[in-house]
Structure 1
Amino acid sequence: VLDLFLLLSGCAGNTWPSVERLKDGRQGFVIREKAGMDAASLAEFQRAVALLNDGKDGEAIELMKRVIDRSPRFSAPHIDIALAYLRIGAPEPAEQHMKAALSLVPGHPVAGNEYGLLLRKTGRFNEAREVYEKAVDRFPDYLPARKNLGILCDLYLNDPKCALEQFERYSRLMPEDEKVKIWIAELRIRLGR
Structure 2
Amino acid sequence: MQIRNAEPLWRSYVRRPAAWGALVMVLAFFSACAVTSKGPSVAQLTDGRQGFVIRENPEMDAASRGEFERAVAMMNAGENDKAIELLTRVIDRSPGVTAPYINIAMAYVRTGRTELAEQHLKTALGLVPDHPVASNEYALLLRKGGRFKEAREIYEKALAGFPDYLPARRNLGILCDLYLNDPACALKQFELYSEGMPADGQVKIWIAELRMRLGW
Q: TM-score of the superposition, structure 2-length normalised?
A: 0.80
Larger RCO of the pair (alpha carbons < 8 Å, separation 6+):
2
User: In structure 1, what residue type is equivalent to 2:142?
Assistant: L
Instruction: Give ranges in structure 2 of 5+ residues lacking alignment.
Output: 1-12, 15-22
CA offset digits 1:88-145 (Å, max 9, x no partner): 1110000111111112222222211111111001110010001111222222222221
Distance 1:130 1:138 in 2: 13
Q: Secondary structure of 1:7's partner?
A: helix
2:204 equivalent in structure 1: 181
Partner of 2:146: 123
Q: CA deviation at 1:161?
A: 1.1
Q: Secondary structure at the match of 2:163?
A: coil
- Structure 2 residue 56 is the aligned partner of structure 1 residue 32: yes
**Is the Cα–Cα contact under 8 Å of residues 22 and 30 in structure 1 kept in the other structure?**
no
Alignment of 1:166 with 2:151, yes or no, is: no
1:7 aligned to 25, 29, 42, which one? 29
Equivalences, count? 191
TM-superposition CA deviations, 1:45-71 (whole Å, max 9, x none)? 112112112211111101111111111
Change (3 A) 1:18 1:181: closer
Change over 3 Å in CA distance of 1:11–1:25 after alignment to 2: closer
| Secondary structure class of the residue paired with 2:56 | strand
The answer on whether the counterparts of 2:40 and 2:131 sit within 8 Å (CA) in structure 1 is: no
114-123 vs 178-187, greater mean Cα deviation: 178-187
Alignment correspondent of 1:96: 119
Task: Identify the residue that residue 21 of structure 1 maps to in structure 2.
Answer: 43
Distance between the aligned counterparts of 1:29 and 1:59, measured in 2?
Answer: 26
Percent identity at matched positions?
58
TM alignment of 1:34-53, pairs within 5 A: 35-53=58-76
Q: 55, 77, 84: which is aligned to 2:100?
A: 77
Q: Cα–Cα, structure 1 residues 22 and 181, in superposed 2: closer, same or farther, change >3 Å?
A: closer
C-alpha RMSD of the superposition: 2.2
Per-residue deviation at 1:44? 1.5
Kept in 2: contact 1:10–1:36 (CA 8 A):
no
> How far 1:22 moved relative to its partner?
4.9
In the alignment, the residues of structure 2 paired with residue 92 and residue 30 of structure 1 have an alpha-carbon distance, to the nearest angstrom, of 25
Q: Which residue, 110, 124, 133 being the options, matches 2:156? A: 133
Aligned partner of residue 123 in structure 1, secondary structure: coil
1:112 pairs with one of 109, 127, 135: 135
What amino acid is aligned across from residue 29 of structure 2 in structure 1? L
Please report how far the alpha carbon of residue 163 of structure 1 lies from its aligned counterpart in structure 2 after TM superposition.
0.5
Structure 1: 5+ residue runs without aligned partners? none
Letter in 2 for 1:65: T
Structure exhibiting the larger radius of gyration computed from Cα positions: 1
